[in-house]
Amino acid sequence: MIKKQRFITDNSIEQEYTTSVPLVHRKKFAQFFTPPPVAELLTQWLLTHPHLQTIQEPAFGLGIFSRLLLSKRKDLSIKAFEIDPTIFATAKGYFADVPNINILPQDYMENDWQNKYDGIICNPPYFKFHDYNNKTILKTVGEKLHCSLTGFTNLYTLFLLKSLYQLEAGGRCAYLVPSEFLNSNYGETVKSYLLQTGMLRHIIVIDFAENVFDDALTTASIVLCANDRQSKTVQFSHVQSLSNLQKISRMFSSKPQRLSSEKTFSVSELQPDIKWRAYYQKQNGGQFKHLVPFSTYAKVVRGIATGSNDYFTFTQSKVKEFSIQEKFLLPCICKAVDARNAFFTQQDFTALRKNDKKVYLFNAENSDDEFVLRYIKKGEAEGIDKTYLNSSRTPWFSLERRSPSPIWVGVFNRTGLRFVRNEANIANLTAFHCVYPQSANLLSGIDIDLLFAYLLTDTAKRILTDNSREYGDGLQKFEPNDINKGMILDLAILPQSDKKEIIVLYQQFQKCERQGKSSKDIEKIDDIIKENFMK
């Protein structure tokens, strides 16, 4: 039982709750507590309101925001929502004798649309779009705000949009959210609404190496809004640690409320349809000239999605167990870890097969083989045909059509994009994306070896990183269009002599890789690239 104390402003209450409540329960309700330095900054923003009186907390938790606010202003009237019965009971016990706070055991998204507040403050739940039933919520939000939201819209952004709708004239809104929406497709509508309403004032991105959401794999950003129509500019800050937030807190009491003009933009300058990383983080591509979209020379598409990897993937021992002939199996790389080097050869595939790794996909459409039909019935008995992806296919066990791509690119990374030359000419699952270069000819395209040699350089990886999505602990993710729309140096304009030199160096590197030797050939290629393209 928590020892009652008026008002505890550190995270001791949260720490005690974390040790007593199982992680599985906390994950079920997406409970990731706000560090006190961050909570302090959000409450400071609300307290800049000259007539702050009514507060709303949409995702109350254990009330870190209310505890901080009431420790400074005991006259505030707070209305809060909390859907988890366990944490609700704990919070109610702590605030039992506080008359001016009303905690309701209700879903914020389904209640209280009619009321408006001077201040709204929140660290909303972070769920993937497929982890909650969002159809009704999306419809309601879309109708209230007169906007169209994609089904991939994350719940935390819906919380933010509803709060902006409920902000009283002159009110302040402070949210701690993953910065994912700043650089994702579904975030475009959210960013558009922030700009159209004129409420957005400041976005503070906490450095990606510091994971403020405990064990949640996500980055953090603070979104500060005001419904006062008194500013036509938006400031972006990129802080390296939680301690750096103190100078931003002090800024709120200054006039004007900004640190510098370096990362301050007029609302008209901001484009909702681009990744907003460009506004708060130095862009690597800015150091180079003659940049073109990656799609100029190649197209990236997702790898094969099976709908049930356990069912569709086969090891050599599984092949024998179910007596599936090889002609009903598609050779495939199933895990990124199984292709560790820059070149994946037929010998690499054979080694994986001998080590009983998953190297085949069940590919038996139109087969009347006895053992194939038996395996299909096994899948139906297990409900594999009823899964989301497979239920939309005819027949359900048919595979997506993907010709083997000559180049693979990793979806996730922490050390820069990883490209692999698919010399084995096999298929790939979604651990890799497929890269299909254009055919080289006199009018368009470049030699595939020249393209791949460039993609192995640090320069290529750094420029493409400008268009990545970033998560906690330095984890980067690339969707196919992140790469397609990313920038690449226009290799076609390289002098012919440099192209030939790059190919020679590339072939030397390839030879060393196959022999397990180290080389400096890629660094030499990078030097040639920089000499031609650096500003």
Q: Answer whether residue 529 is part of any domain.
A: yes
Residues 242 and 130 in one domain: yes
User: Is residue 220 situated within a structural domain?
Assistant: yes
436 in a domain, yes or no? yes
Per-residue pLDDT tens over the stretch 79-129: 999 999 999 999 999 999 899 999 999 999 999 999 999 999 999 988 765
Q: Are residues 271 and 301 in the same domain?
A: no
CB 158 within 8 A of CB 109: yes
pTM assigned to the model: 0.78
pLDDT at 521: 97
Provide the 10 A C-beta neighbour count for residue 132: 14
Both 37 and 91 in a single domain?
A: yes
* Residues 34 and 138 grouped into a single domain: yes
Can you give the CATH number for the domain in which 120 is found? 3.40.50.150
Q: What are phi and psi of 167, to 5 degrees?
A: -80, 125
Number of domains in the chain: 2
Question: Distance (Å, rounded) from C-alpha 141 to C-alpha 163?
Answer: 11
Is 382 inside a domain boundary?
no
> Are residues 269 and 186 part of one domain?
yes
Within a domain: 332:
no
Q: Are residues 473 and 438 in the same domain?
A: yes
Domain boundary among 223, 247, 281: 281
State whether 215 and 120 are in the same domain: yes
Q: What sign results for the dihedral spanned by CA atoms 180, 228, 242, 78? A: negative
Q: Same domain, yes or no, for 518 and 475?
A: yes
383 — alpha (psi -120 to 50), left (phi > 0) or beta?
left
CB 457 within 8 A of CB 528: no
Within-domain flag for 101: yes
Domain-located, residue 335: no
Q: Which domain holds residue 46?
A: 23-281
Question: Other C-beta atoms within 10 Å of 407: how many?
Answer: 20
220 and 300 belong to one structural domain: no
Same domain, 108 and 165: yes
The stretch 20-29 carries a mean pLDDT of 89
Question: Could you give the CA distance from residue 1 to residue 17 in angstroms, rounded to a whole number?
Answer: 9
Q: Is residue 191 part of a domain?
A: yes
pLDDT: which is higher, 462 or 260 = 462
pLDDT of residue 442 exceeding 70: no
Q: Residue 460 maps to which CATH number?
A: 3.90.220
**Final residue of a domain: which of 281, 316, 336?**
281
- DSSP-based three-state secondary structure for 146: coil
Q: Please write the tens of the pLDDT for every residue from 319-351.
A: 999 999 999 999 999 999 999 999 999 999 999
Instruction: Give the end of a domain, one of 281, 316, 340.
Output: 281
Helix (H) or strand (E) holding 264: strand 264-266
Residue 300 and residue 177 in one domain: no
- The pLDDT tens digits of the residues spanning 1-18 come to 344 447 889 989 999 999
What's the pLDDT tens digit per position in 43-69? 999 999 999 999 999 999 999 999 999
Same domain? 229 vs 300: no
Q: Is the pLDDT of residue 440 over 60?
A: no
- Band of the pLDDT at 258, cuts 50, 70, 90? low
